[in-house]
Structure 1
Amino acid sequence: MMPIRPSKPVTLAHDKTVAVQEDVRQAQADLHDANEVLADTVVGAIVTKESVKAALVQNLQVEGQLQDVVKELEVVTDLLKKAEDEKAERAQEDVTMAGRRSGEGVDSVIEHMSASARRKSLDR
């Protein structure tokens, strides 16, 4: 039995997933930082217009990062679907070819029986 190796789409999906996880972690950290700046405004600290503007810019960047993550996850989903389809095709080919390779298919049984019958008729 041949060892099972991950197909290329699965490997690509794994690599993209690892990269997306890092992007999400970075977006989470950026969003946390921006929220801390905005939270300071609620507490009553002296907040400058620049700090609020910086927090808003940071939130917009995080939003962009998250949009990129959504697109990457769509690619991962497509790659995994492709891998599933390829696996199903291979399984179907294995089922179709099983009788031919093993000698246990209906065609090979009929062929064997016909050959046996011919041999018996020749022996008489």
Structure 2
Amino acid sequence: MIELRRSPRITVTWRAGVKLPDGKLVLAKLVNISAEGVLIHTTENLIPQRSYPMLIEIPGIFQESQIYKVSCKGTVRHAILSGEVYHVGIQLSEMSQLHTELVTAWISKTAHLS
């Protein structure tokens, strides 16, 4: 299969939180990540084209028990209900350079293992 995406993505099982406008924190599971975005699974329907503050837990590249709590903003590109879970594609922004480099390192490390 030919990959048509601009950025390579890797499969992960990381945790995230999405803050709704009313202040409620929605927990989510990251399914995959790229330099530009993530796919999450959540029980809450997130509104396409809306931006939400997010927190993503990313393991350290050398010591996976070290967890980085990465704050960023996520803009919903699509949300599809499958069973009881929404599959939500999110474009990331406002992530620090250090955390962007951590994501890039994970993508590079995983690509070399494939």
Normalised by the length of structure 2, the TM-score is 0.22
Normalised by the length of structure 1, the TM-score is 0.21
Structure with greater proportional strand content:
2
Structure with greater proportional helix content:
1
**Which structure would you say has the larger Rg?**
1
Higher relative contact order (CA 8 A, sep 6+): 1
